[in-house]
Structure 1
Amino acid sequence: MKVFETQLPGVGRRYQISFPDGGVFTIVVHNDGKRSAFWRDEPDADGEELFTTNERDAEKIAEIFEGVFFDPVSDDLDDALSGARIKWVAIPDDSPVVGRTIGDVGIRTQTGVSVLAVERGGQTIANPTPDTQLLTDDVLVVVGDDDAHQALEELLSKPK
């Protein structure tokens, strides 16, 4: 695999990844933070735009490729995790939990979900403590059943 980087004046940077078995994957990082992804089967062929995304979503895609969110489990745990779902939930600007800590809010006792991580400004706080303060634009990575997720949504959106 070869990676080529090219400055695109007035646009941003282009990264082209050529694979030994054929195909070229291109990512254009625009000056405004937008990312565009293209694929072409042959080096000289026209590229097909696969998607365009913002900076935050591009970071999420990169984390997935990096394996941050993947933890293989054996099949014998399927019954133990039955009904459990992991979700990424953004804290609304007007949420009553903004400025309070996880412990003060009582997220687990109030809703039944467990907070696995807090994503904040491109950083991930893994295994946050009850003293972790919740801020606007934080994204909570939580695990629980459907009822617990619904209770969390209600807690986050209650009027102040």
Structure 2
Amino acid sequence: MGTRRIPLPGVGTQYDLTTESGGHLSVVVHHDGRRFLGVYRADDPDACESVALDPEEATALAHLIDPTRLEGIDTDGLDLVTEHIPVGSRSPYAGRLLGDTRARTRTGASIVAVLRRTSVHPSPGPDFRLGLGDTLVAVGTREGVDALAAIIGGG
């Protein structure tokens, strides 16, 4: 496997991945946050199928691929789970304070961290302002975390 990072002046950065089997993928990250996933054909390395991803879609794809994703916590028999919950374009809480969600009161689930594209905010307080594209790390029962995901998602 081989990876390389290529600066694209005025555009952003391209990340290339060549797999052990010879497959070739690229991710182009624009300065404005747009992302494009490119898949190159094995029979024609100049032919590329490109898919545009918005921040929410890029986060969802990363969580599907990432083998180190938080799956759960060993709680000695307690039924607790850990989930990543994206703050997407349909969320009524993008741009609002975390306290506005009343997450713990409404669901019993706790938001233990907020992941941003360039930073991690552990133990955010009620005055923490959520942003579009943030990912909440929530801990609670399956029912509580699912309820929190529905609230944050606008469901």
TM-score band (shorter)?
Answer: 0.5 to 0.7
Per-residue deviation, 1:149: 3.4
Root mean square deviation of aligned Cα = 4.6
Among 96, 99, 109, the residue aligned to 1:98: 96
Structure 1 gaps of 5+ residues are: none
Q: Distance in 1 between matches of 2:17 and 2:130?
A: 37
Q: Which of 124, 128, 149 is the equivalent residue of 1:133? A: 128
Q: CA deviation at 1:84?
A: 3.2
CA distance in 2, matches of 1:4, 1:109: 45
Deviations 1:37-72 (A, max 9, x none): 213335x4454537431346446629x6494x3478
Letter paired with 1:99: L
Partner of 1:144: 140
CA distance in 1, matches of 2:29, 2:117: 19
After superposition, residues 65-144 of structure 1 pair within 5 angstroms as: 65=66, 67=68, 69-70=69-70, 77=74, 80=77, 82=79, 84=81, 86-90=83-87, 94-95=92-93, 98-99=96-97, 101=99, 107-120=103-116, 122-126=118-122, 128-130=123-125, 133-137=128-132, 138-144=134-140
What whole-Å deviation, never above 9, does each CA across 1:71-129 have from its counterpart, x for those lacking one?
A: 787xxx4983647352404286654x933648xx6532432112121134642212x15
Aligned length: 148
Tell me how far apart the structure 2 counterparts of residues 49 and 82 of structure 1 sit (CA, whole Å): 43
**TM-score, normalised on structure 2?**
0.57
Question: How many angstroms apart in 2 are the aligned matches of 1:55 and 1:156?
Answer: 14
Asked if structure 2 preserves the Cα contact closer than 8 Å seen for 1:16 and 1:26, the reply is yes
Matching of residue 54 in structure 1 with residue 54 in structure 2? yes
Question: What is the alpha-carbon distance in structure 2 between the residues aligned to residue 18 and residue 155 of structure 1?
Answer: 37
Alignment TM-score, normalising by the size of structure 1: 0.55
Matches of 1:139 and 1:38 in 2, distance apart?
Answer: 26
Shift of the alpha carbon at 1:18?
Answer: 3.4
